[in-house]
Structure 1
Amino acid sequence: MSERSAYVNESGGHPVPAVLAGVDGSPQSTAAAHWAAGEARLRGVPLRLVHAWPWLTDGESAFAEPDDLPAAAQRVLAAAAGEVRERHPGLEVRTDGVLDAPVDGLVAAAADTDLLVLGSRGRGGFTGLLLGSVSMAAAARSSVPVVVVREPGTAGGGDGPEVVVGVDAQDPQDEVLAFAFREAALRGARVRAVHGWDLPPVFGYAGGAVPATEIAQLEALEAKLLSLAVAAERERHPGTAVVEDVRLGAARGLVDASAGAALVVVGRRHRSIEFGPRLGRVAHAVLHHAQAPVAVVPHG
């Protein structure tokens, strides 16, 4: 069985329904739609383009018929679908309008798909921000992996030979590693497994320079833990090259490794609470600063 067919049919032989991309007419969402189209081709599934917007009425939460969709929403979807079909001929492209707040609508629409793809910023917000509130909130709440894509030319990345994945070698997450290895196999890329570690607090209390020999010993231990963490996925994907990369500082290591990468993969723990932050500090930093598309994979 090929890597592609293993990816598409891994859940009891049922194909992945679709890759979903949120569009709103912004350059970033157009870039996300094209990235999602390429991903849909790799997976052999349709692409769904979804435009979500809030609609305030006197007690009515949604229109009954598709013909009631506002003309502006139809134009956004038609324009995005036209661009995608022109660049990706033969790809099945579906469009859907969702009458809901953008985050709620996109997260709900993605629940029965395998991947949600969003632009880093939409039409609203401040132009100086690298990541918009919709992308951040969706990445924090979605039950499926979310890929955040920047507009081409603003942050680089996206076509490199590596899929970079952040690994907590002391608490590796199977879902995150499996996603990264499958994405690398689809692209014929290698995996760069980055484990960022920090010096134990005792060194900070002691003050002064840390002996190089002790740093080397600690780094060697972290490297062994990383090897153990990726061993199972190495065995499942014998044709995928793997680079094990141990660095001081998790977020900085991933951001540095993102330059020229095809994709950066980080994890995000499922949370049962409805309020408060849901992205860890590493995922948050990578989403804001990585130079490649970033996949946030829920786990736990």
Structure 2
Amino acid sequence: MTVQDIRSFNRFYTNLIGALDYGRHLYAPYTLTESRVLYELAHSPRTDAADLRTELHLDAGYLSRILNKFEQDGLIERAPSERDPRRRRITLTARGREAADLLDERARETVGALLAPVPPEERGRLAEALRTVRAILGADRAPHPEAVVLREPGPGDLGWIVQRNAALYAAEYGWNTAYEGLVARIVADFAEDHDPHLERVWIAELDGRPVGCVMCVRDEAPATARLRLLLVEPDTRGLGIGDRLVRSVIDFARGVGYRDLVLWTNDVLIAARRVYQRHGFVLVAEKPHRSFGKDLVGQDWRLDLRGTPE
């Protein structure tokens, strides 16, 4: 491997992406940097200017000009940060989220066009090659919490939720395929019939791969939402992903008008229970049961969303 090898690949890939975006519509009417800022704001619900500078390595003055432009165009709103009043929290408006969604849709179409001629049997090899490059060139850098983004599910992500839940719970707790069947039904129900204004799925992504998930769906009780299928991959635990996923559900549920947020879990899931407790959930009921090939104690937890936000 030589410097020339890397430069040659850079030219190849740059030309390839340029050919796919021949009409230069991918980021229009925004620059590449402006599009990156919109992406971060869309996938990081608690963001301030300092976070953006750190994540995107931008000059403070340059970022300030971008944010001023976004505010003038009605794409963002700025308010005092809940974590530190000296900072300004930045959130997308409805118009800003529409712009971010449009850019994301264009990016997906572009990547889809890139992958279209690749035979299905070669796509796994391509994905592994990309992961190898990232691992080797970033070998001296441990994952940072800021590198994790939360996004909506794309094609294949709902299937990933079923597969990873089944595999992880079998490996860590010895649960049988009955649990996989339960997860499959939950995911299928969401895929076939859900209200996007009141129900949502989040995927946590790190280095281009999904590493966590959670769902917020309507419960049978009036004005009540249910948190379901919280999962974090073992090799990314400790980065605060579980907390971010749960916080996203709470913010969403409170924002759309639910009064209560409930969940069902089992006493053996100690780490998940600690996350729920940190966010104010209260244990309201316990009941022994035999499920998934194990004797378990099911637990019902509840959070009153009418209380003061954290």
State TM-score, norm by structure 2.
Answer: 0.26
Name which one, 1 or 2, has greater alpha-carbon Rg: 2
Task: Give the number of the structure whose residues are more often helix, by fraction.
Answer: 2
State TM-score, norm by structure 1.
Answer: 0.27
